Structure 1
Amino acid sequence: MTTRTGLDLDPHGLGGVGDTARWMAASRARESRRPDRLFHDPYAEALAGPDGHLLLTHFHPRHANDDGNPFLPIRHRWFDDYLRECVAPGTQVVGLGAGLDTRAFRFDWPDGVVLYEVDQPAVLAYKRQRLTGAQDRCERHEVPVNLGDDWPDALTGAGFDPARPAVWFVEGVLFYLPEQLARRVLRDAARLAAPGSRIGLDLIGTGIFHFPYMREFLRRLEEADSPWVYGTDDPAAVLRECGWDDVVVTEPGWPGANFGRWRPEWSPAGDLPNLPRIFLVRAGRS
């Protein structure tokens, strides 16, 4: 798909949401070049492709001449910290909508970890092609299935054991899904999650769809056939309604989600309506 600016957003046939994963890879590559980087992803540049820098400026033209949207590296580092804290030797780990995630290759995983990457077949095939020669640092299983299809059956068919606790992560995925599907994904994960399991995910508030500053960004996502469609202003309630408990919600700029990058003036003041909010959420199964 070629945009009005002439940028081909889908040169690899990934389509829609799948191709926005290259944009995320480009963001990780940019962060990895910083001397004060929050993480280092040596595979991101190859996954972003030669036009990765154009994706960054296309989706965030306001950040064309600075260090980029600060939320993206903060979010990725938050998920890094969540996984490092929760994953113990022998843990099952499941990435739903794992996209072009490279933690299987760049983490020092504990012994016996088994990682399942669930995503569209084209996305996983693209990653496999671009990372030829990269070495898994844990046992890794690709689960090529769309989240709108029977991914629980595909996951268990790949070896996942619902009787054992698991650590789940869903990074940058749920707001692309219609609400019913997003909730179904969370319910299905809870159904497969044995007691002691954990989940980490991010959600957006509904104010993002009303805030004038966001209109151009949202338009560009629609143009790329990857619109944001789902937001909630009560993420804790959503998680509890979908079968999870022990819910902890944080936001960029709060303790544990700052890393020296988020300025106080960027955080919404109180509960004023129609301001853009982003939620980083952890929950469990007891």
Structure 2
Amino acid sequence: MSRTPGDTWDIVTSVGFTALAVCAARALDAALEPPLANDTFAASFVAASGEPNLMTALAKTDLSSAVGFNARWVGVRTRFFDDFFTSAIRCGSRQAVILAAGLDCRAYRLVWPDDCIVYEVDQPRVLEFKQQVLDKRGAQPSTRRMAVAADLREDWVRPLVAAGFDPAQPTAWALEGLLPYLPGPAQDVLFEKLHELSAVGSEIAAELGPEPGELREYAEHMRTVRQDGTQSPILDLWYDDPHINIKSWLRERGWDVTSADLVDKAANDYGRPFHGLPPVFERLLRTKFFTATRKR
């Protein structure tokens, strides 16, 4: 699962598989109390993939499995981004862009005004798989939806604009489960382009990746979480090379940035507090999420 420059993937390999695993976690979230993800499409994607371990976990509703453990925090993360879009639309945004959309189905399961459009940007084979499953189900989005095939390490702006994106209009941007998988230089360029495309009033919700040196620390923590003492293979896909301090960089350019503590939100806003959360996950959920609004 190690990364190489310019690597690509489908839904059962490399970074694509992480989107599928998160999708399985969203499906299992329905068995938790209260459910937070509200994703009735997730199980269909897992079934269509044929991935045996994920299918078994879903068939048994196995909350003790790795997928079941993930469901507890993935549901909280999903709710955070769902609420972000609901708030951004209430504040006037009529464009939403989900970068590295994966198997997310917010264009189908959230309530949107009629004049909204949701752009989903991801690798071509991921979007193709997603569309095939949605077509088989006869699913219809609750607003206009545009799938934009692009590599976020390359030129994603041109295909986004070609799909109808209007930089003059306020935009709600979501970067959920994306930044850990981008090299530092690609993160820097991504935020430069995102800033250029954002009119005043645009909003961001994002999950940060590891800072330089943190990856080794995460690996050590994860060995204590995994029963066999091995490193989680997901860490082979992450980057912790140098990059801009994203929150400071945005503030310098007129964005009002607010950190979000998802452990507190889970307990106080969502009614599903964590119990016995491993330190590495508590740290991630408390420190790696933020929202931002462009003020000038």
Question: Which TM-score bucket, shorter chain as reference?
Answer: 0.7 to 0.9
Specify the alignment match of 1:91 in structure 2: 94
Specify the alignment match of 1:214 in structure 2: 222
Deviations along 1:71-94, one digit per CA (max 9) or x if unpaired, are 211100100111111114670111
Instruction: Tell me how far apart the structure 2 counterparts of residues 184 and 21 of structure 1 sit (CA, whole Å).
Output: 23
Task: Choose which of 63, 66, 79 in structure 1 pairs with 2:81.
Answer: 79
Specify the alignment match of 1:24 in structure 2: 22
**Which sits farther off after the overlay, 190-199 or 33-42?**
33-42
1:281 aligns with 2:290: yes
Distance 1:192 1:11, change over 3 A: closer
**Which sits farther off after the overlay, 183-192 or 205-214?**
205-214
Matched-pair contact (CA < 8 Å) for 2:10–2:126:
no
Distance 1:257 1:264, change over 3 A: same
1:40 aligns with 2:38: yes
Specify the alignment match of 2:155 in structure 1: 150
Q: Secondary structure at the match of 1:186?
A: helix
**Which sits farther off after the overlay, 251-260 or 155-164?**
251-260
Paired letter, 1:142: A
Deviations along 1:159-209, one digit per CA (max 9) or x if unpaired, are 001011111111101111111111211221111001110011111444453
Deviations along 1:121-146, one digit per CA (max 9) or x if unpaired, are 10100000111111111011111011
Q: Secondary structure at the match of 1:100?
A: coil
Offset of 1:233 from its aligned partner?
A: 11
Specify the alignment match of 2:237 in structure 1: 227
- Note the 1:187-266 alignment, pairs <5 A: 187-206=192-211, 207=214, 209-211=216-218, 212-215=220-223, 218-221=231-234, 227-230=237-240, 236-240=247-251, 243=253, 245-255=255-265, 259-263=270-274, 266=277
Specify the alignment match of 2:139 in structure 1: 134
Unaligned runs of 5+ residues in structure 1 are 2-9
Distance 1:67 1:22, change over 3 A: closer
Matched-pair contact (CA < 8 Å) for 2:124–2:149:
yes
Matched-pair contact (CA < 8 Å) for 1:26–1:53:
no
The answer to which structure has the higher helix fraction is 2
Distance 1:205 1:13, change over 3 A: closer
Paired letter, 1:282: T
> What TM-score comes out, normalization by structure 2 length?
0.78
Specify the alignment match of 2:5 in structure 1: none
- Residues paired across the two proteins, number: 266
Q: Secondary structure at the match of 1:253?
A: helix
Distance 1:27 1:120, change over 3 A: same
Instruction: Tell me how far apart the structure 2 counterparts of residues 62 and 135 of structure 1 sit (CA, whole Å).
Output: 30
RMSD of aligned Cα (Å): 3.3
Paired letter, 1:151: W
Offset of 1:255 from its aligned partner?
A: 3.9
Specify the alignment match of 1:7 in structure 2: none
> What TM-score comes out, normalization by structure 1 length?
0.80
Instruction: Tell me how far apart the structure 2 counterparts of residues 233 and 56 of structure 1 sit (CA, whole Å).
Output: 41
Specify the alignment match of 2:51 in structure 1: 51
> What percentage of aligned pairs have identical amino acids?
32
Paired letter, 1:68: F
Distance 1:12 1:153, change over 3 A: closer
Q: Secondary structure at the match of 1:105?
A: helix
Distance 1:26 1:65, change over 3 A: closer
1:165 aligns with 2:170: yes
